[in-house]
């Protein structure tokens, strides 16, 4: 077995050690909502007030981002009266990290008390109703990366051996986000996100296959993080920014520059939507939740 396909050995102890390090850095702050900000979407973190920013490289056990558009900083601050953690960028399976390493930051966020996790990404649009710049709420996913972040020995302190994934992306959070969108004049569709391993973009034949099996969007992230957070009992909301039409659906070649450009174009709309979602979350969703028991 290679190191690229199983959980991090001793992950619970490492998660707790990293969480304890961050608790000391954050002092009395008790964030209950966390965000993972995908390609080109990380600027939202810099709008937090009373914020502390910590480079991933200075956080014990944290994998460091290596891709353009992922700054690699963890923010803790306020949006309105809500304490929020925000990851400015993520690491990816295609960079060579194991899925256990990819989801390690997610597990730390939940260990720090985040009951609600908002996971964002830049995705390729497969559904013909989607256009670059659209924001789509994830209703479900298809894991085609070849592995599962829960593979390997299960630690019951994280969650059950066989977690149910009937509703990884909480319906009540999707409905709440849709109401926020409507209040801003946005019609937020729901869609199924397919994760492939990358880093190459999909071929036209692969996109035809994805459409046939029910995918509306595709990308190279989000699914492992959602599984790990759900495993630990957190509620997830997935938001995909359609930054390009998938291969074979556009006359132009796909590029990371296009992804970044479209993400930048909808930055203000995206920020307004996230702000509404976070500040108007029902009180029970924003109150401190249970963290995994400590060893």
Write down the catalytic residue from 98, 121, 127, 221: 221
- Verify whether residue 95 is a known catalytic residue: yes
What's the pTM? 0.90
Write down the catalytic residue from 11, 39, 98, 201: 39
pLDDT in tens, the chain (295 residues): 344 455 565 799 999 999 999 999 998 889 999 999 987 778 899 999 999 999 999 999 999 877 665 578 999 999 999 999 999 999 999 999 999 999 999 999 999 999 999 999 989 999 999 999 999 999 999 999 999 999 999 999 999 999 999 999 999 999 999 999 999 999 999 999 999 999 999 999 999 999 999 999 999 999 999 999 999 999 999 999 998 877 667 666 767 676 777 777 888 999 999 999 999 998 665 554 444 433 3
Cα 44 to Cα 248: distance, rounded to the nearest angstrom:
32
Dihedral of the CA atoms 149, 212, 177, 168 (nearest 10)?
A: -30
- Verify whether residue 256 is a known catalytic residue: yes
Other Cβ atoms less than 10 A from the Cβ of 66: the count is 13
- Verify whether residue 200 is a known catalytic residue: no
For residue 23, count CB atoms less than 10 angstroms from its CB and return exposed for 0-12, middle for 13-18, buried for 19 or more. Answer: middle
156: its two tokens: 């019951």
How far is residue 217 from each of residues 77, 163, 195, 234, 247, measured CA to CA in Å? 31, 24, 9, 24, 11
Write down the catalytic residue from 220, 226, 234, 247: 220
Write down the catalytic residue from 16, 45, 65, 92: 92
CATH fold of 28-41+72-151+163-281 reads: Rossmann fold (3.40.50)
Write down the catalytic residue from 7, 65, 122, 226: 122
Cα 273 to Cα 118: distance, rounded to the nearest angstrom:
12
CB 260 within 8 A of CB 68: yes
- Verify whether residue 70 is a known catalytic residue: yes
């Amino acid at each position: 077995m290679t190191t690229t396909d199983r959980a991090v050995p001793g992950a619970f102890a490492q998660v707790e050690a990293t969480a304890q390090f961050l608790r000391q850095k954050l002092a009395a702050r008790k964030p209950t909502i966390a965000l993972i900000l995908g390609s080109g979407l990380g600027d939202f973190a810099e709008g937090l007030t009373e914020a502390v920013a910590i480079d991933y490289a200075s956080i014990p056990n944290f994998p460091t981002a290596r891709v353009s558009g992922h700054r690699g900083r963890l923010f803790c601050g306020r949006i309105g009266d809500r304490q929020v953690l925000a990851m400015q960028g993520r690491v990816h399976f295609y960079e060579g990290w194991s899925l256990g390493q990819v989801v390690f930051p997610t597990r730390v966020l939940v260990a720090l008390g985040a009951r609600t996790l908002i996971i964002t990404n830049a995705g390729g649009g497969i559904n013909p109703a989607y256009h670059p710049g659209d924001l789509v709420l994830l209703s479900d996913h298809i894991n085609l990366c070849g592995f599962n972040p829960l593979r390997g020995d299960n630690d019951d302190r994280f969650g059950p051996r066989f977690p149910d994934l009937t509703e990884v992306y909480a319906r009540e959070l999707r409905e709440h986000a849709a109401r926020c969108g409507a209040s801003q004049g946005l019609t937020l569709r729901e869609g199924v996100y397919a994760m492939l391993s990358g880093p190459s973009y999909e071929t036209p034949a692969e996109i035809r296959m994805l459409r046939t099996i029910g995918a509306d969007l595709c990308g190279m992230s989000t699914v492992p993080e959602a599984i790990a957070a759900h495993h630990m009992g957190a509620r997830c909301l997935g938001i995909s920014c359609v930054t390009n039409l998938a291969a074979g659906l556009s006359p132009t070649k796909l590029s990371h520059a296009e992804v970044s450009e479209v993400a930048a174009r909808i930055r203000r709309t995206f920020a307004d939507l996230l702000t509404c979602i976070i500040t108007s979350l029902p009180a029970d969703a924003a109150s401190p939740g249970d963290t995994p028991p400590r060893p």
